């Protein structure tokens, strides 16, 4: 088995009883067992260790880089013009390098108000730096072969034919965003656990068995993907 690197991100605000965190932990344990001593795992809890929101100096540096085209990370560093930009770039570069180093990205994502959580969005905004996932020399997409496993949890149901089918701005958003970074569509695996709030929300009464089926399907999908990637 060759060396493999897993970047494990969690982004739900309530660790106790978290469905997404339970499923990402299940995936990480299976993945680690499969890759044995050759595995490197970086766990970044985006709630316990939040990524600071991007500021004006981040956008200023980004615009300067965009005017030049695709640059190496060292060449971006050479364009920094102020202590504020330096602070923004130091925060950003380490996260970009973390993502670039991963063979597999495991992302736990609860749905909040039909989309991703604030902690995840802060990470997304910071690491989506112009040209950061393109080889400055060859133009090659650096994340083309990166495998992504999104574990989505949502209190309600958004499947085909449900009343809120078109309210899902979480999974389509994450698919589009990973695609925009250059991750191949076939390398993005999405596992979804729905109706997680069935015991709390009266409007979901009677859907307990659907919720249990959704969770069982999610657990099986996690196991199958962990055995394959
Ligand atoms: C701030 C907040 C907003 C939420 N918004 C939605 C929502 O728009 N749709 C939904 O189906 N569930 C919503 N939920 C419920 C969560 O998606 C659900 O509890 C999910 O299981 C959270 O993931 P976790 O179990 O990993 O913490 C929301 C929960 C919180 C705390």
In terms of Cβ atoms closer than 10 Å to its own Cβ (0-12, 13-18, 19+), residue 106 is buried
Q: What is the torsion angle, in degrees rounded to the nearest 10, for the CA atoms of residue 18, residue 23, residue 26 and residue 30?
A: -160
Confidence of residue 36 (pLDDT cuts 50, 70, 90): confident
For residue range 74-92, what is the model confidence (pLDDT) as tens digits? 999 999 999 999 999 999 9
- Residue 154 backbone dihedrals phi, psi, to 5 degrees: -145, 145
What's the pLDDT at 190? 98
E strands, 62-146, in order: 104-110
What's the pLDDT at 39? 81
What's the pLDDT at 67? 97
- The contacts of residue 173 (CB under 8 Å, 6+ apart) are 115, 116
What's the pLDDT at 3? 67
Give strand pairing partners of 43. Answer: 8
Residue boundaries of the structural domains of the chain? 4-228
Average pLDDT score over residue span 158-164: 94
Of all protein residues, the one whose alpha carbon is nearest to atom 27 of ligand 1 is 18
Judged by DSSP in three states, 15 sits in coil
- Residue 24 backbone dihedrals phi, psi, to 5 degrees: -70, -35
Fold for 4-228, please state it: Rossmann fold (3.40.50)
Judged by DSSP in three states, 182 sits in coil
Of all protein residues, the one whose alpha carbon is nearest to atom 8 of ligand 1 is 113
Range list of H helices, 102-207: 118-127, 171-181
Cα–Cα distance, 76 to 110 (Å, whole number): 33
Cα–Cα distance, 4 to 75 (Å, whole number): 28
> Is 2 a residue whose pLDDT tops 80?
no
Confidence of residue 157 (pLDDT cuts 50, 70, 90): very high
Q: Is the CA virtual torsion 208, 209, 215, 219 positive or negative?
A: positive
How distant, in Å, are the alpha carbons of 14, 54, 174 from that of 198?
A: 17, 36, 25
> Is 99 a residue whose pLDDT tops 60?
yes
For Cα atoms 143, 170, 28, give the angle at the middle one, nearest 5 degrees. Answer: 55
Using only C-alpha atoms, what is the Rg of the chain?
Answer: 19
What's the pLDDT at 179? 98
Testing ligand 1's pocket by substitution, the residue of 154, 169, 198 carrying the most ligand atoms inside 8 A of its CB is 154
Average pLDDT score over residue span 60-87: 98
Average pLDDT score over residue span 176-205: 97
Confidence of residue 60 (pLDDT cuts 50, 70, 90): very high
> Residue 133 annotated as binding?
no
> Is 1 a residue whose pLDDT tops 60?
no
Ligand 1 atom closest to the Cα of residue 15 is 27
């Amino acid at each position: 088995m060759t060396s493999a690197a897993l970047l494990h991100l969690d982004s739900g605000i309530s660790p106790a009883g978290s469905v997404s965190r339970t499923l990402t932990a299940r995936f990480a344990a299976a993945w680690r067992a499969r890759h044995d001593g050759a595995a490197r795992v970086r766990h970044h809890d985006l709630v316990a260790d939040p990524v600071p929101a991007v500021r004006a100096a981040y956008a200023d540096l980004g615009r300067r880089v965009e005017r030049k085209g695709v640059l190496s990370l060292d060449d971006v560093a050479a364009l920094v013009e102020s202590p504020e930009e330096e602070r923004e770039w130091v925060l950003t570069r380490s996260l970009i390098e973390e993502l670039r180093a991963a063979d597999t990205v495991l992302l736990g994502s609860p749905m909040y108000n039909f989309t991703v959580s604030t902690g995840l969005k802060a990470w997304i905004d910071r690491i989506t730096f112009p040209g950061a996932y393109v080889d400055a020399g060859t133009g090659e997409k650096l994340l083309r072969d990166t495998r992504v496993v999104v574990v989505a949890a949502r209190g309600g149901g958004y499947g085909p034919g449900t009343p809120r089918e078109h309210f899902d701005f979480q999974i389509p958003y994450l698919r589009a965003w990973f695609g925009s970074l250059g991750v191949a569509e076939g390398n993005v695996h999405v596992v979804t656990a729905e109706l997680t709030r069935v015991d709390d929300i009266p409007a979901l009464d009677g859907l307990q068995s659907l919720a249990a089926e959704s969770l069982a399907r999610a657990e099986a999908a996690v196991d199958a993907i962990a055995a394959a990637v």
